[in-house]
């Protein structure tokens, strides 16, 4: 792991920044960061006009007995969700309310703010709110659509269930399709002036028929100064969010850096989990957890396609300006990968053949017959060239295929020039799409050496005849034939 004291980030090295964050955290936040990194850290206050008017707002709402609570569906840090029946329509709904032990003006306001945010986001991939009301006992209630499904995290790594329920044979492709719809929902919210701040698989619901809903907008902030209900992003200076997915700016600071790019990071964190099987941030103690959040995340396994590694790395960049401009741009990048996935697979197989070719060349010791060795080498070269070219024909921007083809041509040119076949080396060299001065010089030197070798072999019989002449020996017909053939070879080589 990189030493945080040696890692620059902005104007201050990482070590002092970690120390600064450690001094600002409260004990409850310490515990969540280390012992419950998948839980949401709620902002410590909701100081808005809505919070100050909380009492009058509740008084103005009608008491309602139209919703009858049934069984518990789930619970979070401050809220609980019940299955209920909306008696006026005779339908099942989900009802969210504040835990009894957590009830306060701040928690009630945050619950109402969530409803107000969702109410302004009518989108097919955002969990809709039906109503806000107050129970007979004075508790505020949010009436939501009842989703007969599960959290995305329960299906993300379960290929068998995804195949059985949704007839999706490719788990990665299914997850990326879900991700695309989440990106759509978040991009829509940004266009309406809201930042989610708590995107994670737990907050995405998958319906019985594969519907996708982004839920839990409880710590959302607004980018618009003209609304005074939801907290503003520019005022979000305290730590908030889920530590295992958190962007560096979510740790808080004297000046808020929360923006739409924060949600882009969170989407990248979900993508990281899809590809690696775990969230990007982990740590055995508080310092290690904060360091993980502030640093670039660990690289994905080599088994992950290079295009997906690049997309994920860009979304998870520590600097917001280096990330994708929007969730839409991230979605387009993922869709581009899916379109070109066939090309990626072909290139991956060709890379396996290339690794085998390089291993064969590195272990070449002449123990096999020379002809058998060369047949194997040229067979692997043919497979590599065909595979990389086919991948590039399907997707001309496949850099892995382009780089692989260059490596293939480079290693075979070097091998042929080294083993005395500069003519074939020159032919392969002409296929390279970029000039390699060192390799060209190497082939030219091999050609010159080969040329001198041919001349030397052709000159030997002539020199033998000359020696016989010097010794005044009689030249027979055989000597004259050797002399004639030698001169012909010399003439032919000189004409090349």
Q: For the chain, first and last CA: distance in Å?
A: 60
**What pLDDT is stored for residue 226 in this prediction?**
83
225-254 pLDDT, tens per residue?
887 788 999 999 888 999 999 999 999 888
Mean residue pLDDT of the chain comes to 83
Are 185 and 215 in contact by the 8 Å Cβ rule? The answer is no
317 counts as catalytic: no
Q: Picking from 202-216, 297-311, 344-358, which range would have the lowest pLDDT averaged per residue?
A: 297-311
Question: CA 62, CA 305: separation in Å to the nearest integer?
Answer: 55
Q: Picking from 20-29, 219-228, 284-293, which range would have the lowest pLDDT averaged per residue?
A: 20-29
pLDDT band of residue 480 (cuts 50, 70, 90) is low
Q: For residue 473, is pLDDT > 60?
A: no
386-404 pLDDT, tens per residue?
999 999 999 998 888 999 9
pLDDT band of residue 476 (cuts 50, 70, 90) is low
Tokens of residue 417, six digits: 């020039």
Q: Picking from 11-20, 106-115, 170-179, which range would have the lowest pLDDT averaged per residue?
A: 11-20
**What pLDDT is stored for residue 4 in this prediction?**
44
**What pLDDT is stored for residue 455 in this prediction?**
54
Q: For residue 6, is pLDDT > 80?
A: no
pTM reported for the whole predicted model:
0.74
Average pLDDT (107-128) is 91
Collapsing DSSP states into helix, strand and coil, what is residue 127?
coil
Q: For residue 216, is pLDDT > 80?
A: yes
Q: For residue 148, is pLDDT > 70?
A: yes
Question: CA 484, CA 496: separation in Å to the nearest integer?
Answer: 19
pLDDT band of residue 126 (cuts 50, 70, 90) is very high
Tokens of residue 70, six digits: 């049934």
Q: For residue 483, is pLDDT > 60?
A: no
Nearest CA to 454 out of 424, 426, 492 is that of 492
Are 327 and 187 in contact by the 8 Å Cβ rule? The answer is yes
**What pLDDT is stored for residue 366 in this prediction?**
58
Q: For residue 494, is pLDDT > 60?
A: no
Residue with tokens 């058998």: 372
Q: Picking from 71-80, 155-164, 185-194, 328-337, which range would have the lowest pLDDT averaged per residue?
A: 71-80
pLDDT band of residue 9 (cuts 50, 70, 90) is very low
Q: For residue 45, is pLDDT > 80?
A: no
pLDDT band of residue 101 (cuts 50, 70, 90) is confident
Question: CA 198, CA 215: separation in Å to the nearest integer?
Answer: 9
As to burial, measured by CB atoms within 10 angstroms (0-12 exposed, 13-18 middle, 19+ buried), residue 105 is middle
pLDDT band of residue 61 (cuts 50, 70, 90) is low
Nearest CA to 152 out of 108, 199, 105, 113 is that of 199
- % pLDDT > 70, the chain: 78
**What pLDDT is stored for residue 362 in this prediction?**
86
The half-sphere exposure of 266 on its side-chain side, counting CA atoms within 13 A, is: 29
* Phi (first) and psi of residue 232, to 5 degrees: -85, 145
* Sequence-separated (6 or more) residues with CB below 8 Å from residue 98: 78, 79, 80, 107, 108, 111, 139, 140
* CA angle at 413 for the pair 408 and 416, rounded to the nearest 5°: 125
* CA angle at 243 for the pair 239 and 248, rounded to the nearest 5°: 60
Active-site residue identified among 177, 184, 198, 216: 198
Region of residue 144 (phi > 0: left; psi between -120 and 50: alpha; otherwise: beta): beta
Residue of 403 and 31 predicted with greater confidence: 403
* DSSP conformational letter for 68: E
Are 331 and 267 in contact by the 8 Å Cβ rule? The answer is no
Are 104 and 110 in contact by the 8 Å Cβ rule? The answer is no
* Phi (first) and psi of residue 123, to 5 degrees: -145, 145
**What pLDDT is stored for residue 58 in this prediction?**
55
The enclosing H or E element of 457 equals helix 437-470
159-214 pLDDT, tens per residue?
999 999 999 999 999 999 999 999 999 999 999 999 999 999 999 999 999 999 99
């Amino acid at each position: 792991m990189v030493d945080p004291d040696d890692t620059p980030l902005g104007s201050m090295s990482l070590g002092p920044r970690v120390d600064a964050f450690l001094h600002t955290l409260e004990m409850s936040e310490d515990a969540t960061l280390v012992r419950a990194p998948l839980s949401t850290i709620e902002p410590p206050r909701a100081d808005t006009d809505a919070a100050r008017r909380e009492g009058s707002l509740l008084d103005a709402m009608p008491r309602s007995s139209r919703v009858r609570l049934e069984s518990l569906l789930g619970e979070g840090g401050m809220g609980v969700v019940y299955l209920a029946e909306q008696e006026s329509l005779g339908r099942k709904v989900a009802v969210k309310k504040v835990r009894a032990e957590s009830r306060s003006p701040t928690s009630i306001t945050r619950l109402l703010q969530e409803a107000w945010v969702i109410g302004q986001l009518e989108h097919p991939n955002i969990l809709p709110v039906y109503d806000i009301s107050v129970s007979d006992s004075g508790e505020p209630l949010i009436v939501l659509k009842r989703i007969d499904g599960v959290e995305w995290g329960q299906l993300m790594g379960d290929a068998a269930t995804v195949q059985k329920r949704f007839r999706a044979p490719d788990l990665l492709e299914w997850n990326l399709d879900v991700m695309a719809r989440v990106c759509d929902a978040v991009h829509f919210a940004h266009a309406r002036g809201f930042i989610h701040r708590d995107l994670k698989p737990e907050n995405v619901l998958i319906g019985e028929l594969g519907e996708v809903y982004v839920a839990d907008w409880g710590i959302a902030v607004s980018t618009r100064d003209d609304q005074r209900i939801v907290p503003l992003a520019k005022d979000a200076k305290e730590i908030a969010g889920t530590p295992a997915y958190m962007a560096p700016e979510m740790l808080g600071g004297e000046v808020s850096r929360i923006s739409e790019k924060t949600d882009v990071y969170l989407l990248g964190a979900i993508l990281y989990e899809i590809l690696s099987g775990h969230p990007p941030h982990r740590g055995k103690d508080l310092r290690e957890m904060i360091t993980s959040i502030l640093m670039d995340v660990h690289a994905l396994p080599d088994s992950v396609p290079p295009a997906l590694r690049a997309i994920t790395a860009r979304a998870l960049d520590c600097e917001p300006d280096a990330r994708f401009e929007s969730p839409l741009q991230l979605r387009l990048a993922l869709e581009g990968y899916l379109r070109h996935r066939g090309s990626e697979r072909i290139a991956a197989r060709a890379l396996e053949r290339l690794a085998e070719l390089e291993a064969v060349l590195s272990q070449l010791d002449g123990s096999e017959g020379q002809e058998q060795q060369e047949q194997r080498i040229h067979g692997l070269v043919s497979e590599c060239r065909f595979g990389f070219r086919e991948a590039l024909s399907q997707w001309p921007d496949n850099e892995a295929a382009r780089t692989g083809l260059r490596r293939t041509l480079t290693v075979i040119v070097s091998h042929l020039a080294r083993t005395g076949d500069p003519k074939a080396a020159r032919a392969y060299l002409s296929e390279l799409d970029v000039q390699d001065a060192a390799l060209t010089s190497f082939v030219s030197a091999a050609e010159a050496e080969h040329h001198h070798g041919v001349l030397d072999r052709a000159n030997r019989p002539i020199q033998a005849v000359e020696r016989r002449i010097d010794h005044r020996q009689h030249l027979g017909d055989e000597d004259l034939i050797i002399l004639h053939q030698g001169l012909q070879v010399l003439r032919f080589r000189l004409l090349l």
